[in-house]
Structure 1
Amino acid sequence: MRIGEKIKNRRREIKMTQSDLSEGICTQAMISRIEKRKVRPSRELMEKLAERLEVSLHYFYGEDSIESRYSKTTQLSKLVRQHLERREYDTVSYLIDSNEELIQQAIGEDGLFFEWVKGLLFDYRDGDNDKALNHLIRLEKEMKNGELRLEVIDSIGNQYLKKEEYDIAEKYYHKGFDMFSEWMNHEKKAKLMLNYSICLAQQDKYGECLSIVFQGLDLVVEQKTLFLLGDFLYYKGFCLEKLEQKEDALSAYKQAWTIFDIQQNEKFTVSMQLTIDRLGKELIK
């Protein structure tokens, strides 16, 4: 049985429409084309569809397929991602070093993923910003458009932001922003947009920063997630305050405080409260 037929059968088995399956992953038209065998989906897309359909990749490809043999690499990359999200770079470094043989056999998207992680470790583990930049820039040139390339571009921007070379960082963030597609993961897009906003704010480009912030807010609100919502609200308040719209800024700061409080982020709630108190006193004067 072909992949498209298996997707259709499983979708119907769990009473899921094409629209339900595609939501937040790709277009409904793409699902239709896959099921009609008009296009062969990438493994990255298949991983997302398998997760939505609550089956493993083995369900579609079989235990002895090449795709199935990639499962160990895929599991490792997911584990590495989890620790990257928590900025646990020592653990990431251990995982990379202890799975060197497996990583050397990785090809395609998996191979590029581990090369990206290697570039991050040059900076966050070794403290070599220039080596990280050279590695990431070279890697980005080898990649096709997609979510991973978006992350690499974001990482390059972050490296230049760290070096306070804001004009170059801005060019990379803008490049990533122009790559956005509806099928891309909203969290990856939100991260780039937040970093883009920070870069613009650092250059006193408050109007441009607000434009990106509002788009970031629209994105996370549309997804009904708190992910980076507090951060976007903070930069909304920051830019409004710099533009002398202090009452609106105070409102945004209070909203940010609420989000950070819900997330039990004590560090940010304390910082936000100090900002709110300061601005509140200024408005009374």
Structure 2
Amino acid sequence: MDIGHKIKLRRKELGLTQADLAEPEFTRGFISQIENDITKPPLKTLEIIATKLAVSINYLIGGESEDSVEFTTHHKVSEKIKIAKRLINLRKYGDASSIIEKIEKVGNQDFMGDILALKGEVFYEQQQYLDAIDLLKQSLIYLHPHDPIAKIDIYVKLADSYMNGQKYDEAIDYGFYGLSIIKSNHHEERLFELKLLNILGYCHCRRGEYKQGIRYVEEALSLSDAIQIHYNYGALKMLRGLAHTYLKDYEKGIRYTKEALHFFKSTNAIQEIVGCLTNLGILYKYTYDYEQAIHFLKESLIAAEEAHLHYHKQNSLYELADTFLVAHQYEEALSLVEENLQLIQEKRLRGKTFYILGSAHASLSNWAEAITYTRQALKLFEEHDMKRWQAKSLTKLAEIYYLQGEHQASHIHYQKSLDIYESLMEAE
């Protein structure tokens, strides 16, 4: 079988187009000429093509099948490791695992770190983070100390795996280790650095350490602008806005959320656009600018409807109704919720929506409806162990009973509410 035919068969086997194989080194026409034996490629070109096709160059120019290539020399094992990495990049995890298994059978301890790292990467790329963590941690023991780039790569994957598993302390530890290697050795691994800054910023914010989180986020944004790589750029700006929101710096929260919105609009990222519009509505509500809050929440509702983002639509409905409530526009809140209540199926949001109905009816002195809806809310909060909302609902019921002159019932519900708040304080 000639070289061109082998290249064509392997390309199709991997599901690649001629353009996929060509870029960025060659043109599609050049690859077409090679495959049709119009052009005879030089050895260097074949080396590049072999790497992209995740095969050895011997397979292209020799007579043996790819499976028959021996693993006896250090060079050939290194070549197979490159092929396994390429297969992982192509999401051919079964093929990659088969090659990794063959490398492992050679029993060469020099490659143990690479083997464990590759096995971990197969799990990592398939989002099987627990399995990935175990193998990646083992690989750190064997990786050569004079190969800091490989270690940084492992630290990035470990930090990301722990972050996705909501183990934020461990994610921060590994993120910090990786960043320390980059900074102490002056490595120009900018994308790794950017990823680690992302992880550290996000994880610190999830731990409620917003000032520290903002520091990493700002460093990531500054680096991103400097190197013109907008990795997770809009999400970083959105996170920056959220962090300032939690710090009650609403002016900065609004500014950075608007910057995120502008970026997401430029990339037509609909889900993120809806998220930013909702966050702006909430921020303006916190600043008592209800007109602006209602404006942005209505925009988020329309965008969610048009994009068929059902959960986001439910959330926008709830936030808009809550804004009407705090703005003392009780009739608008009732009208919106009663018209759309059947759409809100997510149980926690449904409970909060019942709470709005109860509160709006209470403000209009519709006591029977207020009690009915607040009790429906309380039931859902109890089913989902939402302690703070249980306490809020009990307090609301206590207020309703007090306003009706039922002081004993009011006292009982206040006491139940206090008991829950005390249990939450003890848990902290």
Note the C-alpha offset of 1:282: 3.0
Q: Which moved more, 1:209-218 or 1:139-148?
A: 139-148
The 1:126/1:276 distance shift into structure 2, 3 A limit, reads: closer
The aligned counterpart of 1:230 is 234
Q: Paired residue for 1:212?
A: 216
Question: Structure 2: how far apart are the matches of 1:245 and 1:267?
Answer: 25
Residue equivalent to 1:155: 157
- 1:176 partner letter: G
Shift of 1:219: 0.8
1:117, distance to aligned residue in structure 2 (A)? 3.7
1:161 CA displacement: 2.9
Percent identity between the two aligned chains? 16
How far is 1:101 from its partner?
A: 6.7
Partner of 1:165: 167
Kept after mapping to 2: 8 A contact 1:74/1:110? no
Pairwise CA distance, 1:260: 2.3
Map residues 19-30 of structure 1 onto 2, 5 A cutoff: none
Structure 2 contact 198–220 (Cα < 8 Å) conserved = yes
- Aligned residue for 1:118? 119
1:233–1:253 contact (8 Å) kept in structure 2: yes
Gaps of 5+ in 1: 1-54, 84-90
For 2:196, give the aligned amino acid: L
Q: Which moved more, 1:268-277 or 1:185-194?
A: 268-277
Measure how far apart 1:266 and its partner are: 2.4
Q: Which amino acid aligns with 2:85?
A: S
Distance 1:204 1:126 in 2: 26
Q: Measure, in 1, the Cα distance between the counterparts of 2:127 and 2:266.
A: 35
Contact residue 120 and residue 132 of structure 1 kept, 8 A: yes
Whether the aligned pair in 2 keeps the contact of 1:147 and 1:184 (CA below 8 Å) is no
Query: CA separation of 1:108/1:186 partners in 2, compared to 1, >3 Å: closer, same or farther?
Result: farther
Give the equivalent residue in structure 2 for 1:7: none
Amino acid in structure 2 at the alignment position of 1:142: Y
After TM superposition, the structure 1 = structure 2 runs for residues 90-169 of structure 1, keeping only pairs within 5 Å, are: 91-100=91-100, 104=104, 112=113, 115-122=116-123, 125=126, 127=128, 129=130, 131-143=131-143, 144=145, 145-169=147-171
User: Number of paired residues?
Assistant: 219
Note the C-alpha offset of 1:125.
4.2
The CA deviation string for residues 96-131 of structure 1, in whole angstroms up to 9 with x for no partner, is: 1354477557989987555324214446648471x4
2:265 aligns with one of 261, 267, 280 = 261
Question: Residues 112 and 139 of structure 2 are in contact (CA less than 8 Å); yes or no, is this contact kept in structure 1?
Answer: no
TM-score for both structures, normalised by structure 1: 0.63
Residue 250 of structure 1: CA displacement? 1.3
CA distance in 1, matches of 2:152, 2:46: 25
1:16 aligns with none
Cα deviation digits, residues 27-77 of structure 1 (max 9, x gap): xxxxxxxxxxxxxxxxxxxxxxxxxxxx87979xxx99x879956653552
Tell me, which stretches of 5 or more residues in structure 2 are unaligned?
1-43, 49-56, 59-73, 291-428
Deviation at 1:238, TM superposition (A): 1.5
For 1:244, what is the secondary structure of its paired residue? coil
Q: Deviations over 1:145-197 (max 9, x none)?
A: 52221121122223333443322322211111111144333222111111111
SS state of the match for residue 163, structure 2?
helix
1:249-279 Cα shifts (integer Å, max 9, x gaps):
1111121122223233222222222222322
Name which one, 1 or 2, has greater alpha-carbon Rg.
2
Aligned-pair CA distance for 1:78: 4.0
| Higher RCO (CA 8 Å, separation ≥ 6 residues) | 1
1:150–1:100: structure 2 CA closer, same or farther, 3 Å change rule? closer
CA 257–148 in structure 1, closer or farther in 2 if over 3 Å, else same: farther
Question: Which range moves more in the overlay, 67-76 or 247-256?
Answer: 67-76
